Amino acid sequence: MIPSPSNRPQPEPENPGSGPREGHHPLMELRGWLARKHVPEHRHSLWYYFGGLTLFLLALMVASGLLLTLYYEPSAAPAVTSDGTPLAAARVLKGLDWGEHHYVAGDVIALPLNARTGEIIVPAGMKGAVETVKDGITGGVIRPSAAWVSVEGTIMRDVEFGPLVRSVHVYSANLLIATLLIHMFSAFFLRAYRRPRGLMWVTGFILLGLILGFAFTGYLLPWNTLAYFATRIGVSLPESSMPGIGPAAANALRGGTDVGDATLTRMYSAHVVALPMAAILFVILHLLFLQIFGLSIPIGARRRGGRGLAASLGGIAAAVLIAWPIAMGTFDPLAPPVLAAFVVLPVVIAYLLSGMAAPAVESPDGTSLGSIPFYSNFIYRDLLCWLVAFGIIVTLAIAVPWRGQNPGSMPVDLTRPLATPPGIHPEWYFMFAFQLLRAVPGTLAVICLILLGAGILAVPLLDRRAARGERSTAMTVLGIAVAVGLAGLTVWGYLSLATG
């Protein structure tokens, strides 16, 4: 998005700060500036759409997140009704309609607790269809937190369109991380980090860290068993593997020696205040550098097009979308292969469609590099991409509303002793780190992760040949090794979970 006006392939971009040449009225100047802005068109230009898609998904996350904050309550304290009656967890035994809600067997809901008898107060229409959820260790009732009730009760049951907004938030978060990874790896393999765009790489790297920070802090907010224990494991990682500063870092993250109410406050504050502010700042910087330096042209790129690549990618994505659920016997939209197909499909469809609707201007000899006007050809293609992605997210949110994973969605009651249930694991994007920790000693795993981060950050410095316009085979091999390593650890992690 928003490439430099000087993005024609040759010569390298001049400084757009030279300003518009025609008209003096600001609107006329904007028109003139837009009219001169061009985006390189070549066989690899498909990859230019992933940065814009990431930006769109980030905006969607902010919008849906803002709506969620209207009803979310960041408190791990036991929930009570408006008249102060305590609430307890109850399990629905058979499908029933009560009030405006439909419940299915296995749903866990919050009902008022009779403090005298220690049993839930079952409304007349629910008699015989619910049972009190008992704690596995003490046999007592489980008191869900205000945070859990605000998510599973208020947002998922009481608020109109609540499940839709929550599902859009969760699905766009997963797609955002997937597009971000594709964007980063494509920028790497196209050597887009080479001079003068080193700062684009660095600001992008910081954005990657911030987005992973969003994912980590947001995970705890529903305050269910999966969220609680996964965060406990994640936060204790520095404690057990980094002697010295590790325990201090873990305590600072948790706000104490264990995950509790203070941790929830910290994660919430980071998720809705600190991280968004930092992300907005770095997105602005990233786009500012993009405006200054323009989009790069990959070394050795020749012809325009990329239809063959797009069609092949689309074909593979469609095949995965059909074959994977059949092979697994279940449709899980967050299974990594399905998710990857969902990321690639909108871009490919939009790219192919837009090529028909807003074609590039043919270069006279048909071989040299061409370019397309940013306004309206490229922006039209970008918008089409966003529209298709939005369609996929909303369709998923309606057809397969996000429900969390049972039994991981059970509420956590901090007033009782807690035992880590089996099968606790992180989301797909942290699985590589989780598996690394299981496979090698903790300190070694942390050193590997720090080296990986430092190596990614230093890519523009490591690749000296790219600045001279040469493609280094060593860098390609390194990039493939990292991609295969991360994917391998992820698959290994899931296989180990499946085999216990």
Counting contacts by CB under 6 A, is residue 389 touching ligand HEM?
Answer: no
Which residues are within 8 A (CB) of 481 and not within 5 positions of it... i.e. 6 or more apart? none
Question: Contact between 204 and ligand HEM (CB under 6 A)?
Answer: yes
Q: Which amino acid is located at 387 in the chain?
A: L
3-state SS class at 119: strand
Interaction between residue 295 and ligand HEM (CB under 6 A)? yes
Cβ distance 204 to 286 under 8 Å? yes
Nearest residue (CB) to ligand HEM, 141 versus 466: 466
Which residues ranging from 328 to 367 are in contact with ligand HEM (CB under 6 A)? none
- CB 93 within 8 Å of CB 131: yes
Subset of residues 19 to 58 that bind ligand HEM, contact rule: CB under 6 A: 48, 50-52, 54-55, 58
**What burial letters (b/e) apply to 421-430, b meaning 16+ CB within 10 Å?**
eeebbbbbbb
Inter-axis angle of helices 198-220 and 442-457, nearest 10: 140
In the bound complex, what is the minimum distance in angstroms from residue 150's beta carbon to ligand HEM? 28
The token pair at 129 is: 């269809």
Task: Find the part of the chain contacting ligand HEM (CB under 6 A) among 183-191, 227-235, 249-257, 440-448.
Answer: 183-191
- Residue 353 amino acid letter: L
Question: Judged by CB under 6 A, does residue 192 bind ligand HEM?
Answer: yes
Q: Closest CB to ligand HEM among 55 and 338?
A: 55
Kind plus residue range of the DSSP H or E element containing 358 = none
Min separation Cβ 49 and ligand HEM, Å: 6
Site for ligand HEM in 230-289 (CB under 6 A): 283, 286
Task: Specify the residue, 210 or 437, whose C-beta has the smaller distance to ligand HEM.
Answer: 210
Q: If residue 265 lies in a helix (H) or strand (E), which one and from where to where?
A: helix 261-269
Q: Judged by CB, which is closer to ligand HEM: 89, or 279?
A: 279
Determine if 214 is a binding residue for ligand HEM (CB under 6 A): no
Q: Give yes or no for residue 178 binding ligand HEM (CB under 6 A).
A: no
Are 293 and 196 in contact, with CB atoms under 8 Å apart? yes
DSSP readout, 428-464?
Answer: GGGHHHHHHHHHS-HHHHHHHHHHHHHHHHTHHHH-H
Neighbours of 256 (CB within 10 A): 14
Whether omega before 240 lies within 30 degrees of 0, making that bond cis, reads no
Binding mask 136-175 for ligand HEM (x = CB under 6 A): ----------------------------------------
Q: Which is nearer to ligand HEM, 130 or 275 (CB)?
A: 275
Q: Which tokens go with 335?
A: 């299974």
CA atoms within 13 A on the CB side of 134: 8
Residue 219 lies near ligand HEM (rule: CB under 6 A): no
Q: How far is the CB of 337 from ligand HEM (least distance, A)?
A: 22
CB of 202 to ligand HEM, least distance (A): 8
Which of 8, 36, 183, 271 is in the footprint of ligand HEM by CB under 6 A? 183
User: By the criterion CB under 6 A, which residues form the site for ligand HEM?
Assistant: 1, 48, 50-52, 54-55, 58, 180, 183-184, 187, 190, 192-193, 197, 200-201, 204-205, 207-208, 211, 283, 286, 290, 295-296
